[in-house]
Structure formats: C-alpha cells, structure tokens
Amino acid sequence: MKREEKILSDYLSANNLKFTQQRKVILDAFLSLEHHVSAEELYDKLKKKDYGIGLATVYRTLNIFSSCGLAQQRQFGDGQSRYEHEVDHGHHDHLLCQQCGKITEFENKHIEELQKEVAKEKGYVVFTHKLELHGLCPDCAS
C-alpha cells in the first residue's frame, strides 16, 4: 500500500470515516496530477474515465486530504483554490507568472530564518507562511 494511502486510511479509521472506492480513485488521480490542481481540474480528469464521481465528492474529498495533511490548500488570487501534495514534498514557496500562469517552486532557508526573526520581534508565534513572487517567467520575460 502506498504511503499516502496509508495516511488516508489511518486518518479515516481514526475518525470513524470510510475508505470508499471514490476516495481511493480521487487519491490516485490527485497524486498522478501535477501540483497546484484545482477541484475542477481533478473532476475533469475523473470525468474522462467515466467513474461517475460528482464534483461535490471531489470537494469533500479534497477537504479530507487537507485535514489529514495529504494536501495543502492555496489561493493564488484567481478565484479558485488549488491543492498541492504535501507528502514527500517539503515546504516551499512560489514564483508566479502573470502572463502565462506558470508556477515555479523555490525554497530559501535564509528567508525563512529572517521570517522567524520578524515574528519574534512582533511577539507572534508563527506556524506557517506563504510567500509569492509575482512577475514574468523566463519565457514571457524575453
């Protein structure tokens, strides 16, 4: 059994929820897609395979994935939520192209240390952060 499947399965049984066909199918589709998937995109992918899974179920399932740490929900300002895999995919931030919509990930330990300092100065206890750099990707910039 895949690691992600075990995480989901454990979470479900711990909360008296059920490991249904749909949840398994949606998990596989979610993992097979690139990062930053919207509910609609996931639903479209499933529709092609004729599983008869409804959009509402996709939303409900993605919320479960968020709750058990399999996915992280993000909003980049285009009006819809996007979901990212969390397992085997450590924390990172995003570069976003305003023209073509491309999303590039990056990580910078030094920035994160400075964030901690800022939080400390202001007396905050910080659990997570979001950093987005908006501009043009290499292709669109040239």
Contacts to a copy of itself by CB under 8 A: 75, 77, 95, 97-98, 104, 106, 108, 110-111, 114-115, 118-119, 121-138, 141
DSSP-assigned states of every residue in 77-119: SSSSEEEEE-TT----EEEEETTT--EEEE--HHHHHHHHHHH
Residue whose pair of structure tokens reads 């990212």 in the numeric block: 84
Is residue 72 at the binding interface for DNA, with CB under 7 A as the rule?
Answer: no
- The nearer residue to a copy of itself, 3 or 91, going by C-beta atoms, is 91
Is residue 8 at the binding interface for DNA, with CB under 7 A as the rule?
Answer: no
Is residue 12 at the binding interface for DNA, with CB under 7 A as the rule?
Answer: yes
Rounded to whole angstroms, the Cα distance separating 30 from 133 reads 25
Sign of the Cα pseudo-torsion (96, 97, 103, 104, in order): negative
- The nearer residue to DNA, 72 or 81, going by C-beta atoms, is 81
Residue whose pair of structure tokens reads 């939520």 in the numeric block: 81
Residue whose pair of structure tokens reads 């929900």 in the numeric block: 73
Radius of gyration from C-alpha coordinates of the chain = 17
- The nearer residue to DNA, 63 or 72, going by C-beta atoms, is 63
Is residue 131 at the binding interface for DNA, with CB under 7 A as the rule?
Answer: no
Minimum CB separation of residue 61 from DNA in Å reads 6
Of 8, 37, 53, 70, which lies in the binding site for DNA, with binding defined by CB under 7 A?
A: 53
Point out which residues bind DNA (CB under 7 A). 12, 16-23, 38-40, 51-57, 59-61, 63, 79-81
